[in-house]
Amino acid sequence: MGTESERRRDFEAVYRKYRHAIYQTAFMYVRNREDAEDIAQEAFTRYYVHSAHNVVDNPKNWIAVTAKNLAYNHLKHAKYERLLSEGEDIDTLLESEPDFTDSFFENMWKRDRLEYTDRVLRAMKLKNEKWYAAMIYAYGMEMPRQDIADCMGITRDALSGILRRAKNWIRENYEDEFDHITKL
């Protein structure tokens, strides 16, 4: 219990120290206060989860890179969003309103997916630290492949091979979890 409270205290200290810088980083990309707040919150959430199993030497940099990548992805997907036209209503657009049962099962599925992912990543870290790092950078932090290769000091082709071997290892050793994690 002491370690969890220490972890929470450490996280709160990091949050207090860097929250404005991370918000500013996100805002610099998205130029929208609410979106920047959401991105900063998501970056800190990912840091909290990641720091549970890993030592982060430079939390500010880790969170800032994550925020930058989240902002980049937000901008990439925002171009597909649109406002309703006058006279158009949301029910017509969505065809039906989601019901509470769907929302409940969606949340349960997300929780299961996180538990499976955590179990697989812990095992992968024990199996091969390089695979683990590549997967975290590529899928956890959503870094561009070339940035990951540069960070790891390898070529982009070598990174592709590492990611492919890591995915194959997951498929072979955690078939049910892999299917559950990758299910859309």
Distance CA 138, CA 165 (A): 14
Q: Which residues contact 96 (CB under 8 A, 6 or more apart)?
A: none
Residue whose pair of structure tokens reads 């065809």 in the numeric block: 95
- Per-residue confidence band for 1, with pLDDT thresholds at 50, 70 and 90: very low
pLDDT of amino acid 74: 87
Q: How far from the centroid of its chain's Cα atoms is residue 156's Cα?
A: 21
Q: CA angle, corner 151, sides to 128 and 53, nearest 5? A: 45
Residue 5 has what pLDDT?
Answer: 84
Q: What is the pLDDT of residues 44-91, one digit of tens each?
A: 999 998 888 888 999 999 999 999 999 988 888 776 665 555 665 555
Distance CA 100, CA 106 (A): 10
Q: Which amino acid is at 107?
A: N
Helix, strand, coil % in the chain, rounded to nearest 5? 80, 0, 20
Mean pLDDT of the chain: 81
Q: What is the pLDDT of residue 22?
A: 93
Burial status of residue 140 (CB atoms within 10 A of its CB: 0-12, 13-18, 19 or more): middle
Cβ-proximal residues to 90 (8 Å cutoff; 6+ apart), any chain? 84
pLDDT over threshold 70, residue 11: yes
